[in-house]
Amino acid sequence: MAIIETRCLKKTFGKIEAVRGIDLDIEKGEIFGLLGPNGAGKTTTIGMLCTIVRPTSGRGSIAGFDIARQPTQVRRNVGIVFQDPTLDTILTGRENLELHARLYGIPTSVRKAWIEEMLELVDLKGRAGDLTKTYSGGMRRRLELARGLLHRPAVLFLDEPTLGLDPQTRARTWEYIRKMAAKEHTTVMLTTHYMEEAQAVCDRIGIIDAGRIIALDTPANMIDSLGGDIVAVAAPRPPLEAIRSLPYVSAVKMNEETVEISMKSAHLHLAEILSLIPDVISVEMRKPTLNDVFIKLTGRDIREDTVENGGGWVEAAARYNQRGR
């Protein structure tokens, strides 16, 4: 049985259909990315799965517990790392974990051992006694990851876990996420607007737009669906119809004065393509990426959008804490 399961999951806010019937089956130990433009329904979907937002209709379950009828059991089986920092900065790293352990009722007999294990896993043992206000952004994010996994949840939700971090810290953060998911056999469901990270880290990806899942597959299969290489030719008057008629061309897209051509085995056909195009200014040939898939399916680059819901996760975190675990 899938560790996360939804069937026709919907959420409306007045006349607005935020989520319009989502079906998902996510397996134990899977790293699953939920990607989409601003307002697509990512935050609302995760909010329903975390029991922060109540579904309008449909059903969903986490570790076999119904998200609407058994919210307490669901919360015991999930960990959440919000996009915005939620650590208590006047506590030490170890004290933050101690507080979390007590809130989740981790038995005294294992509490200390579990805390030390998490601190070691994220390389913070040497700074565990320091106030978290003295931590760097990357150290705080690592402590939040440790806190999210401390109570051994079946599912860990990560909302933009590397937003605002420098590239080196981002790479290390993903290393910790992979290591923790493998060690604890934890299912990870994440959102990110860094397409290259999702491509490298996720086992599968669901792309959501206008409240519906419009693609669901492995990153490799999604990229393969574009039909091969991409050749970008800058030219003022490219003959688009002539290019489209070529048997090895799968797609043609015009961006200002650059035509992007998707084709199989571009290196074999580049000369013929260029012979059709007058006044070529420049040529670029590359392999497609997940960002190309995203643009094709949604019509825009995910980086054109701000992070969904602004500070909504901070408000959601407050509601989550007020309602209790």
Return the number of other C-beta atoms located less than 10 Å from residue 126's C-beta.
9
Every domain range in the chain assigned CATH 3.40.50.300: 4-222+303-323
**DSSP collapsed to 3 states, 81-132:** ECCCCCCCCCCEHHHHHHHHHHHCCCCHHHHHHHHHHHHHHCCCHHHCCCEH
Query: What is the per-residue pLDDT for 24?
Result: 97
Q: Is 204 strand, coil or helix?
A: strand
In Å, how far are 3, 75, 123, 150, 176 from 181, measured between CA atoms?
14, 18, 16, 12, 8
pLDDT of residue 304: 46
Q: Look at residue 180 in the predicted model and tell me its pLDDT.
A: 75
Class of domain 4-222+303-323: alpha beta
Q: How far, in Å, are 2, 248, 286 from residue 227 at the CA level? A: 31, 9, 13
- Please, what's the b/e burial string for 170-208 (b: 16 or more CB within 10 A of its CB; e: otherwise)? bebbbebbeebbeebebbbbbbbbbbebbbebbbbbbbb
Please list the residue range(s) of the chain that carry CATH number 3.30.70.920.
Answer: 227-287
What is residue 300's predicted lDDT score, i.e. its pLDDT?
64
pLDDT at 311: 39
Q: For position 70, what pLDDT does the model report? A: 97
The predicted structure's pLDDT at residue 177? 81
Q: Dmax of the chain from CA atoms?
A: 76
Q: CA angle, corner 140, sides to 139 and 146, nearest 5?
A: 90
How far is 78 from 155, CA to CA, in rounded Å? 5
* pLDDT for 61: 97
Q: Domain spanning 227-287 has what CATH number?
A: 3.30.70.920
pLDDT means per 10 residues, the chain with 325 residues, are 94 94 95 93 94 96 96 94 88 97 94 93 92 93 90 91 81 82 87 90 95 96 88 94 93 89 91 94 93 85 45 43 44
Yes or no: say if 187 and 32 are a contact pair by the CB < 8 Å rule. Answer: yes
* pLDDT (0 to 100) of residue 301: 57
